[in-house]
């Protein structure tokens, strides 16, 4: 590349110089974070106050910094990386030569003294060996020899155990208990399992690991792929995603999977001439033959005494299995076999311990949150087996609580946890799609629109907010009342608004049945006695998880108290006409196509006797002459007869703003409304006497 002038190397050196201030500590261990723009100490940096770092954070820079020094000829980078490694070695436990997990960067005291090969410490040991391979410094090999290497038997056993976990959950959860139950359900698409699969295949040549790699690839495509890439798993049990894709996924996962399946001729170079960094970047081995930018050993470091490489060094290494078993393809299989059932034995999936049943072997299909109905006895029985308790609250809502210890089996407990997770996500989704309340307004006499009931909307059917007129019609009871089967009184429901009771089936199913019967709308009344919109939060009806495009009529939900008003009105007046709309309408605001009294004969909404003179004839206009059903209002019609009381609309209170009307429903009963009108008429009579 004749056009290249070292631009990338210049940028790499600039980045290294920006990282160097992090090593400005009394111990030489770097700060865990540094602001590349503002440095360490400036107020904008928002860093420099940390006191602890992990062993891997401080000891996993020697490869990159040494390579940068040898490419640029500047020894400063390798110097600081070696100094940090030397300090960690100085602070080791002298009897075991092990190091802790977390250390104070100023004092060198161990914050966490536990040691291992897990997160926060694993790449420290990895870089000791790789630093020896890349740089040729025997000091790193002597330190690494404190760790047993090449022990392939436990590697095969551990990989097989983890492979069985991935078969169960598709991915490895971040943490699981000793009996293989999920503890932390997240999985950020970590590549370590794919990396181990690749190295075990190289060590054994067993095609079994090709199958394991294929399962990794299939699970990524099936469960993690999204339109813009691959998403981390929020919960391996439910398959939900997080909006993140970490850099190590692209840097390592696909690289190891490619190397696992690639033949030698597929590689453009000899992979054996490179060393992988912990992020799977490649560094060439010829760096060890490059003139070393820095050879001085830190005076504070205490080198290991046994420097010569004799046979005693192999006490820390395990024999090569390819030499011991050159033609034994069953070697790895014999190691895997006892481990294969350990997951199922500790976490049984059926009554037969140690067996892995197919999904068809369940005693019941898993219940999905979108299918759950609180009044379905079979669903309640499934919830009980899953350890889920159902509690009916006073406001009509249902609360679900799970106790895994009360489940019938481990599989049922897992299904219960999945059900709860789905229910939480379904609830969150419904809250995001929250619709404003709707109104059911009784417009027939003797109500004339004065009774407005707050109704819950449906997430399907006709959108009343896009209908200027709403839907107006007479109310009729559906038979059966729950609307969960084919309607038997189709002739009665045709052209009317069906009144149904909640329960026994999905809301969308009720809407379909009454729509097929010819209803122009539907009202579902809560079956929980005492529930009211005054005390309960807004309730909106969700779909059934299927397409609801076939539902074209509006469906509204009334709590029990509000629904009882319509039921009582039906019992007393037989014909009750209502208006389903997105808001309450003024009495003078008529929907399209609605019949109204002539304007001159309509009592004002504030006071009947203020503008309408007593005794003045109120004859219908020309427009109303052709309508035999038009109303005529005379002062004599306001008389009340004891044997047949008839009430006409009286004065109304000052109308509230429409946004408040939308949020507030009346809780008047029919008796209280009639009582109010009697008081209005009595006041009107008194006014008439005063004028005379």
Binding residues for Ca(2+): 278
The position carrying tokens 């009882």 is: 564
Pairwise CA distance, residues 376 & 381, whole Å: 9
DSSP 547-608: --TT--S-EEEE-HHHHHHHHHHHHHHS--EEEEESSPPPTT-PPTT-----GGGSPPSS-H
CA torsion 230-234-237-238 (nearest 10°) is -80
CB proximity list for 572: less than 8 A, separation 6 or greater: 670
β 110-112/102-104 pair status: antiparallel
Pairwise CA distance, residues 76 & 212, whole Å: 44
CB proximity list for 354: less than 8 A, separation 6 or greater: 341, 344, 345, 348
CA angle 574, 578, 583 (to 5 degrees): 160
CB proximity list for 246: less than 8 A, separation 6 or greater: 188, 189, 232
Please give the annotated binding residues, written as ranges: 278
Pairwise CA distance, residues 651 & 674, whole Å: 12
Pairwise CA distance, residues 63 & 122, whole Å: 15
State phi, psi for 392 to the nearest 5 degrees.
Answer: -85, 125
Buried/exposed 278-299: b ≥16 CB within 10 Å, e otherwise: bebeebeeebbebebbbeeebe
The position carrying tokens 């008429």 is: 681
The position carrying tokens 């959108």 is: 463
Write the CA distances from 236 to 57, 170, 419, 588, integer angstroms: 28, 7, 13, 58
Pairwise CA distance, residues 504 & 485, whole Å: 10
For residue 544, the 8-state DSSP code is -
Pairwise CA distance, residues 541 & 437, whole Å: 11
Tell me how crowded residue 346 is: count the other CB atoms within 10 A of its CB: 15
Pairwise CA distance, residues 596 & 629, whole Å: 10
- Which residues partner with 480 through β-bridges? none
* CA 23 to the chain's CA centroid: 40
Q: Nearest to residue 172, comparing CAs of 117, 226, 219, 126?
A: 219
Pairwise CA distance, residues 374 & 389, whole Å: 11
């Amino acid at each position: 590349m004749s056009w290249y002038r070292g631009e990338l190397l210049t940028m790499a050196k600039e980045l290294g110089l920006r990282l160097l201030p992090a090593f400005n500590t009394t111990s030489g261990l770097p700060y865990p974070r540094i602001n590349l723009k503002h440095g360490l100490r400036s107020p904008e940096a928002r860093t420099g106050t940390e006191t602890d770092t992990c062993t891997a954070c401080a000891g996993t820079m020697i490869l990159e910094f040494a390579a940068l020094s040898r490419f640029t000829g500047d020894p400063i980078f390798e110097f600081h990386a070696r100094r940090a490694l030397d300090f960690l070695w100085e602070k080791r436990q002298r009897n075991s030569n092990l190091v802790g997990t977390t250390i104070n960067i100023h004092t060198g005291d161990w914050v966490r003294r536990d040691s291992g090969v897990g997160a926060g410490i694993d790449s420290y040991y990895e870089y000791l060996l790789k630093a020896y391979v890349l740089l040729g410094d025997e000091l790193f090999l002597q330190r690494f020899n404190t760790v047993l290497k090449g022990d392939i038997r436990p590697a095969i056993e551990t990989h097989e155990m983890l492979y069985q976990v991935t078969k169960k959950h598709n991915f490895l959860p971040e943490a699981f208990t000793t009996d293989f139950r999920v503890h932390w359900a997240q999985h950020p698409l970590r590549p370590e399992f794919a990396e181990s699969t690749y190295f075990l295949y190289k060590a054994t040549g067993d095609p079994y690991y090709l199958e394991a790699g294929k399962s990794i690839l299939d699970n990524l495509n099936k469960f993690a792929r999204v339109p813009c890439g691959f998403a981390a798993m929020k919960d391996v049990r439910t398959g939900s995603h997080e909006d993140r894709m970490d850099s190590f996924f692209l840097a390592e996962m696909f690289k190891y999977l490619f190397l696992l399946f690639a033949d030698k001729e597929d590689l453009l170079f000899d992979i054996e001439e490179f060393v992988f960094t912990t992020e799977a970047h490649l560094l060439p081995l010829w760096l060890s033959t490059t003139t070393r930018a820095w050879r001085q050993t830190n005076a504070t470091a205490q080198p290991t005494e046994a420097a010569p490489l004799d046979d005693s060094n192999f006490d820390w290494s395990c024999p090569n299995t390819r030499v011991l078993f050159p033609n034994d393809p069953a070697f790895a299989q014999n190691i895997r076999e006892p481990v294969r059932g350990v997951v199922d034995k500790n976490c049984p999936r059926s009554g037969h311990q140690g067996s892995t049943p197919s999904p068809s072997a369940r005693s019941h299909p898993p219940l999905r949150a979108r299918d759950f109905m609180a009044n379905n006895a079979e669903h309640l029985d499934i919830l009980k087996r899953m350890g889920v308790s159902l509690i009916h609250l006073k406001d009509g809502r249902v609360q679900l609580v799970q106790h895994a210890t009360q489940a019938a089996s481990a599989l049922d407990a897992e299904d219960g946890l999945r059900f709860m997770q789905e229910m939480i996500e379904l609830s969150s989704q419904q809250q995001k799609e929250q619709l404003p309340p709707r109104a059911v307004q009784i417009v027939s006499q003797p109500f004339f629109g004065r009774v407005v009931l707050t109704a819950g909307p449906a997430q399907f059917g006709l959108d009343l907010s896009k209908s200027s007129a709403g839907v107006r019609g007479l109310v009729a009871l559906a038979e059966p009342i729950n609307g969960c089967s084919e309607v038997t009184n189709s002739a009665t429901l045709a052209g009317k608004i069906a009144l149904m009771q909640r329960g026994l089936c999905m809301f969308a199913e009720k809407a379909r049945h009454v729509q097929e019967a010819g209803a122009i709308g539907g009202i579902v009344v809560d079956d929980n006695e005492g529930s009211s919109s005054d005390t309960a939060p807004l309730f909106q009806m969700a779909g059934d998880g299927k397409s609801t495009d076939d539902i074209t009529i509006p469906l509204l939900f009334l709590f029990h108290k509000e629904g009882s008003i319509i039921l009582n009105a039906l019992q007393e007046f037989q014909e009750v006409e209502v208006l389903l709309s997105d808001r309450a309408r003024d009495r003078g605001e008529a929907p399209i196509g609605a019949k109204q009294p002539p304007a001159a004969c309509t009592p004002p909404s504030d006071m009947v006797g203020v503008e309408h003179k007593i005794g003045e004839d109120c004859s219908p206009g020309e427009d109303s002459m052709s309508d035999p059903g038009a109303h005529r209002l005379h002062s004599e019609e306001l008389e009340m007869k004891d044997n047949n009381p008839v009430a006409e609309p009286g004065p109304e209170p000052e109308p509230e703003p429409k946004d408040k009307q939308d949020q507030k429903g009346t809780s008047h009963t029919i008796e209280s409304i009639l009582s109010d009108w009697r008081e209005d008429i009595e006041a009107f009579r008194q006014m008439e006497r005063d004028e005379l």
